Amino acid sequence: MRLVKTSRTKPEVETARTLRALRLKFRRNVRSLPGTPDFVLPDHGVAIFVHGCFWHGCPRCFRGTKRNAAWWREKVRRNRLRDQRKARELRALGFRVVQLWEHDSRDRISLRVTTSTRRMSAARRQHPARRQRR
């Protein structure tokens, strides 16, 4: 378990490459926010999590283990509940939360991120009194 990377994983590197291609400014692993999002787009108020399919129970490709199956099912269930709780906390702080999976293509990442940044930009134009996050 010590060898499992928590940051700068291959999916995170691909996501960072995509964000740079979209010319978006981002911060990595912001510990001051609930759940330590993998990426935060401070100019747009967007928090991005890049979930591993095994650890977070991807609905598309998660397969449980054969050994100690009950324990792993419970572990993944708790991870999902924690993800939901942290996303709720971030939304309460005014962030839009984007959850990506490790198998997402660059096109899908681009689509999800650009959609979220446009929505947050539009919301901020409608409510100019909202405080900008830095």
Q: What is the pTM of this model?
A: 0.81
Q: How far apart are CA 101 and CA 52, in angstroms?
A: 6
pLDDT at 78: 94
Q: How far apart are CA 59 and CA 107, in angstroms?
A: 20
Query: What residue ranges do the domains of the chain occupy?
Result: 10-126
* pLDDT average, residue stretch 117-130: 65
What digits encode the pLDDT tens for the residues 91-109?
A: 999 999 999 999 888 898 8
What digits encode the pLDDT tens for the residues 25-61?
A: 999 999 999 999 999 999 999 999 998 888 788 888 8
Share of the chain above pLDDT 70, in %: 84
Q: What CATH fold (topology level) applies to the domain 10-126?
A: Endonuclease; Chain A (3.40.960)
